[in-house]
Amino acid sequence: MVENKIRVALTGNPNVGKTTIFNAITGARQKVGNWPGVTVEKKIGTKAYGGHVLEIVDLPGTYSLTAYSADEVVARDYILEEKPDVVVQVLDSTNLERNLYLSTQLLEIGTNLILALNMSDLAEKRGEGLNAHALEKLPEVSLIKTTAKESKGINELLDAVISKSGSARPSNNKIEYGEKIEEKIRHLERVLAEDETLMARYPSRWLSIKLLEGDENAHSKLTSSKIEAEVKKFLSGLNTEEYEAEMADKRYEFISKLLPEVSKSHVEIMSGSDMIDKVLTNRYLGIPIFLALMWGMFELTFAFATPFMGIIEMFFGLLAEIVTANIDSPWFSSLLADGIIAGAGSVMLFVPNIFILFFLLALLEDSGYLARAAFIMDRLMYAMGIQGKSFIPMLMGFGCSVPAVMATRTLEDRADRLITMMVTPFMSCGARMPVYVLLAGTFFGKQAGSVIFGIYVLGIIVAIVSAKLFRTIIFKGSPSAFIMELPPYHRPSAVNSFKYMMNQGFLYLKRAGTVIAGGVMVIWLLAYFPQGVEYGSAESYIGSLGKLLEPLVAPLGFDWKIAISLIFGFLAKEVVIGSLGTLYGTGADEGMLSSALAADPIFTPAVALGLMVFTLLYVPCIGAVAVIKKESGSWKWMFFAAAYSTAVAWIMAFLTVKMGNIVFA
């Protein structure tokens, strides 16, 4: 029944176990999407409990509500404007000081607040016995101890939610900022009170504090208000940065008084996490260990996925054969076999890689290591013009650009996100590997391995140079400061990792699949018509297009067949090989194709190397491009990414062929 519905906002710092609590409460009853207008992930789950239906909204992890990042704006606006019945803040009991800073800001908003002291077992093991009753000195704030990984305290938390939901919103929870600041707050409150519409939406004290802090998002809420000019006039004579710093000091002062009463002991002992970090984040050992772990992860991904990929490939190949053999109409048979089935196969083929990669990444994240990886790489990444967190999406790019681009949503700063989004496709994804293997094996013999390694290194170098270029020309300024709380190490949960894998995997299928299906239809039409010509031949529309484009790639030593193959490669990079097989009449037999390429005078070692470079750098597949559009929220950035990468590919391939002609002459 609607009257029994309770809306609950779940908030907290990153890595405090918020998602684990969300999963423990809602189980599989979750919906994943994006918040309106932004690409921050939105997760909503429901739970029937105690005669009520609880709607749990998992807000983005955030350290504060100062609205510097999209995550902070989303979390704050939801609490302010949607006015959930209860706000549950999940705190890491082993690091209360930093976590309580967010609590002080939630108190200022005036919410029905419950503090879930998560990882309380770890805090007690570290000798930091928690005095839960100390926080109850805060008026109208409830406190529950939880250990989310073991689902301890979850029912108590839900009981508290139900109990809290009927309460009036508190008004006595406030931090005292001293007379000088309080006088300014009172003045602003008096001015704001003249706009009743504004006051119906936002607490006057909270809004006054944010205006005094120079919060741009808070200022935007005054747009078109009759008191906007008066507020601006009042604030124009104040140094808001100074006030912001003073108020932050006051909040920490409040926390420092409260903390000794909450944590019974502050014995400084080296925890297990501290000892592990002595090795894993060591200045000299950190990066080699990290690279070894990543290498192992990719080895596992492809080792486990390869048999499944073979089965999927065989299944779709068999399905296409059955359709071709049993449908008389040539065009309809081709549409199903060469268009729809081949397109679906290209999406499904990489599902095992993506699901396994997400599962392994979830294990690393759940263990607490992934946060360390970003920390380890921060210095190097900062020199490139992006922050340490950017390394995670770029690393994922070696597997598949689609989830890698999606992973940029974890970056708070939009400039960092866009730069990372633009350069991540330069990291050579697994789909390009068949092209390298065929061409390097055909033209470079025993040196094939070294050539392929060089191609991967080239992708990294181009990504680094491009990031620096973007930061220097387009996104001027320094990367945002990298602030990340390193969580204690945990034994990763297979169940949570499995749920994460399923959520992210199906998101890939939904987003990439729908776009690729449309792309397949277009390419099939171009390759099949006009009727009577061989599919994908020079006489087809796609062949005519290849002839039309041939002058553009002729300086690279490429002909119309290569041009067509590269066009098909826009659908998926593996298709480059399939297209060459069709055009050279060898089908899927890579041995015959290798011989045909070696016998073609167009193909020289220099051209083969140039084609590998072009395949590495030119516009990523249609799935990745579509995800760039989704994640950037802009057609402009999607077209820019496609145009920039193709231009870089052309220049680099041109230089490669020219230099290769000299070296291999």
Instruction: Find where tokens 């196969």 sit.
Output: 345
| Residue 39 known to bind ligand | yes
| Residue 112 known to bind ligand | no
* Cα separation, 82 vs 8, whole angstroms: 11
Q: CB atoms < 10 A from the CB of 449, how many?
A: 12
| Residue 239 known to bind ligand | no
| Residue 15 known to bind ligand | yes
- Output the CA torsion sign for 288, 289, 291, 292: positive
| Residue 480 known to bind ligand | no
Q: What is the crossing angle of helices 179-192 and 228-236, to 10°?
A: 160
* Cα separation, 147 vs 231, whole angstroms: 46
| Residues across the chain | 665
Burial of 579 (0-12, 13-18, 19+ CB in 10 A): buried
**Omega before 620 within 30 of 0, i.e. cis:** no
| Residue 59 known to bind ligand | yes
| Residue 13 known to bind ligand | yes
| Residue 37 known to bind ligand | yes
* Cα separation, 107 vs 109, whole angstroms: 5
| Residue 578 known to bind ligand | no
Pairing of strands 52-58, 86-92: unpaired
| Residue 26 known to bind ligand | yes
Q: Whose CA is closest to 535, among 582, 574, 580, 571? A: 582
Which residues, at least 6 apart from 380, have a Cβ–Cβ distance to it below 8 Å? none
| Residue 14 known to bind ligand | yes
| Residue 119 known to bind ligand | yes
| Residue 218 known to bind ligand | no
| Residue 58 known to bind ligand | yes
Cα 525–Cα 529–Cα 531 angle in degrees, nearest 5:
140
| Residue 41 known to bind ligand | yes
At 611, which helix (H) or strand (E)? helix 605-617
* Cα separation, 375 vs 372, whole angstroms: 5
Q: Please, what's the largest Cα pairwise distance for the chain?
A: 87
| Residue 121 known to bind ligand | yes
Q: What is the crossing angle of helices 204-212 and 96-109, to 10°?
A: 120
| Residue 124 known to bind ligand | no
| Residue 410 known to bind ligand | no
| Residue 18 known to bind ligand | yes
At 118, which helix (H) or strand (E)? strand 113-118
Pairing of strands 41-49, 30-34: antiparallel
* Cα separation, 585 vs 579, whole angstroms: 10
Residues in the annotated binding site for GTP: 12-19, 37-41, 58-61, 118-121
Residues in the annotated binding site: 12-19, 23-24, 26-27, 37-41, 58-61, 118-121
Residues in the annotated binding site for Mg(2+): 23-24, 26-27
